[in-house]
Amino acid sequence: MKIKRALISVSDKSGLEKLVKVLNEYGVEIISTGNTARMIKNAGYEVKTVFDYTGSAEILGGRVKTLHPKIFGGILATGSENDKVDMLKSDIMPIDMVIVNLYPFEKMCQSDDEKLAIENIDIGGVSLLRAAAKNYERIAVVNSPNQYNDLIAELRKNNGKISTAVRKSLAVDAFAVTAFYDSAILNWFNREKQFPEKRLLRIEKINDLRYGENPHQMACFYKDADFVGPGLSDLEILGGKQLSYNNVAEIDTLWQMVSDHGNENFCVILKHANPCGAAIGCSMTDAYEKALSTDPVSAFGGLVGFNKTIDSTLASELIKRFYEVVAAPDISENALKLLKTKKNLRIVRFPEMLKITENYNFKRVRGGFLVSDFDQSDDRFDSFKVVTKIKPAELLKKDIAFSWRMVKYVKSNAIVYVKDQTLIGVGAGQVSRIDSVKIAAMKAEQSGFDLRGAVMASDGFFPFPDSVEVAADYGISAIVTPGGSIRDQLVVDKADALGIPMIFTGIRHFRH
């Protein structure tokens, strides 16, 4: 299909002059609106304004420019005999190409100025794109300056014509743009509703992944277009293999965990999305060595994260072992050189420490989504409640708070033991809580830790006092738990009887 007449109305005018030059070379008549027409005329090209063509001026301060039968008739006409008769009666000329991009609503709605956001809701532009996309068998629709180079190449290749396959591809892009645009508007209007009746997920593909959770599964990574702030699509990959599906999922947990620890020197080692080592140290290298001591066997092939810069001293220790991923907010030049000696090691730089700014967490289930807000809570000791008559020693308060931050990230049923702000035992994913109590103790003992004087944290309440009795046998010095069981008093009384302080957080941290 040869392009004879084009309608151009763009908010973003970058690259337009180059495209107009090519259209002019092929003798394409150009119809355009206000500022776009002035730019084309100033560039030295002939242009007919919408007013010249329709006889109707822009009204309402520019809110109505192109909403006219001579414009939309020229776009929606199919070329049938009946359409030709109607067009002749109304003096409508066929339009073969529509070049439109939309008001920058998504940018403007970030402002607190609601009037500014509303004025940037494009009406005519969306209508033009949809009309042209619907009629792709006769019309080429262009929605972004990013398409201009390919469009020019197509015109030159086919002597001013656009193939059906390209027109259809452009139509798909146009419908995607208008759908995304309308979704942004709906979500903006719903921004103050916790759970609106309708919410549209706006996600855009970033890249393919090597495979899914398992090698026989295909996968890719999509970015949430409504996410405000740094996200996983902003990670810098400084070396190593392409990130896998599991890498991305676990880096998300890694990033959350290191972000929980402010200015402390913190290191965490993850394996299958569970921490198998974590510690606060007097330096980053000290934190790493303490975290590794938690479970050096399970650390093999894990992911290691830090909340501060990796220097060359730390890097020289990291390269002694096999890890899938090493991640930190910064990595010194010499450290990066050392880490890159491990060819397949994925080296990741976080853009900054993570702050949860999203309102929703989505989980896919068959035929739907589960939607909740994020598990965020105050993890300071002062926000907890000591429920036993016996009180914890002052020195234990840091371990109590640290244990609560750790158990939040362990799969339920979860038990952790902490000593000197070091994770020393993890019991994860058991269907019986007391089994997690025993497994965490077994792991601690395998790594050579003495549980006497340690703090035990549980992600859920204790339904029976049996876990407290086992903890007493291990010499545990304090127990942290949400509380909330109908047998809470029985459990608290047992802790008092055994001389173990019990702390209720009032918040459960189930993780599935």
CA distance 99 to 281: 59
Look at residues 9, 206, 230, 202 and name the one whose alpha carbon lies nearest to residue 106: 202
- Six-digit token string for 84: 């030709």
CA distance 233 to 206: 7
Q: Are 234 and 309 in contact (CB under 8 A)?
A: no
Handedness of CA 43, 44, 48, 49 (dihedral sign): positive
Q: Are 381 and 370 in contact (CB under 8 A)?
A: no
265-284 in b/e form (b: 16+ CB < 10 A) is: bbbbbbbebbbbbbbbbeeb
Residues 6+ apart with CB under 8 A from 384: 400, 404, 480, 503, 504, 505, 506
Q: Are 271 and 297 in contact (CB under 8 A)?
A: no
- Six-digit token string for 433: 């809580």
Helix (H) or strand (E) holding 427: strand 422-427
CA distance 106 to 179: 13
Query: What Å distances lie between residue 103 and 12, 52, 477, CA to CA?
Result: 8, 24, 62
Look at residues 297, 264, 295 and name the one whose alpha carbon lies nearest to residue 282: 264
CA distance 314 to 409: 25
- Six-digit token string for 341: 């000696």
First vs last Cα of the chain: how many Å apart? Answer: 55
Active site residues: 134, 272
Query: What does the DSSP 8-state code read for residue 342?
Result: S
Q: Are 2 and 118 in contact (CB under 8 A)?
A: no
- Six-digit token string for 269: 């080692």
